[in-house]
């Protein structure tokens, strides 16, 4: 069973997946590779002077793979519904159970709408700083929660915020993911 199911593998989805997998939650990402990053060149992502968007995605995928994310590249999610003890994620290839779902589908908000998430007056998915939607344990991140302020670094931050909220719930106390230089040795 996938503990965390992430729908969408752009900067928002992969960032969420990185944090949850790194901290030992089973994490699956479903992605159809239509990320806007393939059209972008980054000069405004802190810490990266200049990088092609597709190159960024290649690096990000390699990084999450190294943390054990179960990445279903090319598998489209057709719907997410609430089940007795979490969520059922339906794809073109089958069904998956999850305790938490992180929606990261870019500017496409259909799955969030079908799941019953509240929207704002601006017709974006309504979330607070934790990125949790009005449906408990369902999160929305990245372009889908913003009217227009679409930036890769913001999406990655949203994904991280969702993951930390999930990890805090799982651990029963506020959680942060800190490493120190000795961890790299
Ligand atoms: C021309 C252009 C230039 C840009 N330049 C910059 C720039 O210079 N700097 C910058 O910061 N940002 C730039 N951006 C914006 C940046 O690309 C976005 O902010 C960022 O990609 C949003 O990330 P995200 O993860 O929210 O969504 P996305 O990157 O759009 O990722 C969403 C992913 O979800 C997948 N998906 C959607 N529905 C499903 C489904 N049902 N099942 C499975 N997968 C699904 C999609 O295929 C996609 O891969 C640019 C965008 C464009 C169009």
Ligand 1 atom having least distance to the Cα of 159: 25
* C-alpha atoms less than 13 angstroms from C-alpha of 86 in its C-beta half-sphere: 16
Spatial separation of the C-alpha atoms in residues 82 and 72, rounded to whole Å:
21
Cβ–ligand 1 distance for 28 under 6 Å, the answer no
Cα(172) to ligand 1 centroid in Å equals 32
Q: What is the pLDDT of residue 1?
A: 40
Q: What is the pLDDT of residue 135?
A: 98
Tens digit of each residue's pLDDT, the chain (185 residues) = 459 999 999 999 999 999 999 999 999 999 999 999 999 999 999 999 999 999 999 999 999 999 999 999 999 999 999 999 999 999 999 999 999 999 999 999 999 999 999 999 999 999 999 999 999 999 999 999 999 999 999 999 999 999 999 999 999 999 999 999 999 98
| Structural contact between residues 144 and 106, judged by C-beta atoms closer than 8 angstroms | yes
Cβ–ligand 1 distance for 99 under 6 Å, the answer no
Q: Which of 165, 173, 152 is nearest to 25 (CA)?
A: 165
For the chain, domains (ranges, CATH) are 4-184 (3.50.50.60)
pTM, rounded to two decimals: 0.98
Cα 132 to Cα 21, 57, 137: the distances in Å are: 19, 25, 7
* C-alpha atoms less than 13 angstroms from C-alpha of 114 in its C-beta half-sphere: 15
Ligand 1 atom having least distance to the Cα of 13: 25
Spatial separation of the C-alpha atoms in residues 41 and 174, rounded to whole Å:
35
| Structural contact between residues 138 and 43, judged by C-beta atoms closer than 8 angstroms | no
């Amino acid at each position: 069973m996938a503990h965390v199911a992430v729908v969408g593998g752009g900067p928002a989805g992969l960032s969420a997946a990185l944090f949850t997998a790194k901290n030992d939650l089973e994490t699956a990402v479903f992605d159809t590779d239509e990320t806007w990053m393939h059209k972008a060149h980054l000069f405004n992502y802190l810490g990266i002077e200049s990088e092609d968007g597709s190159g960024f995605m290649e690096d990000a995928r390699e990084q999450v793979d190294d943390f054990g994310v179960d990445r279903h590249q090319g598998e489209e999610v057709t719907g997410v519904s609430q089940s007795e003890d979490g969520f059922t994620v339906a794809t073109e290839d089958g069904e998956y159970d999850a305790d938490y779902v992180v929606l990261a589908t870019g500017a496409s908000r259909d799955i969030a709408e079908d799941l019953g998430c509240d929207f704002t007056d601006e017709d974006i998915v309504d979330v607070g700083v934790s990125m949790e939607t009005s449906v408990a344990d369902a999160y929305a991140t990245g372009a889908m929660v913003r009217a227009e302020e679409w930036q890769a670094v913001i999406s990655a931050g949203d994904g991280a915020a969702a993951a930390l909220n999930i990890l805090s719930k799982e651990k029963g106390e506020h959680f942060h993911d800190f490493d120190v230089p000795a961890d790299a040795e």
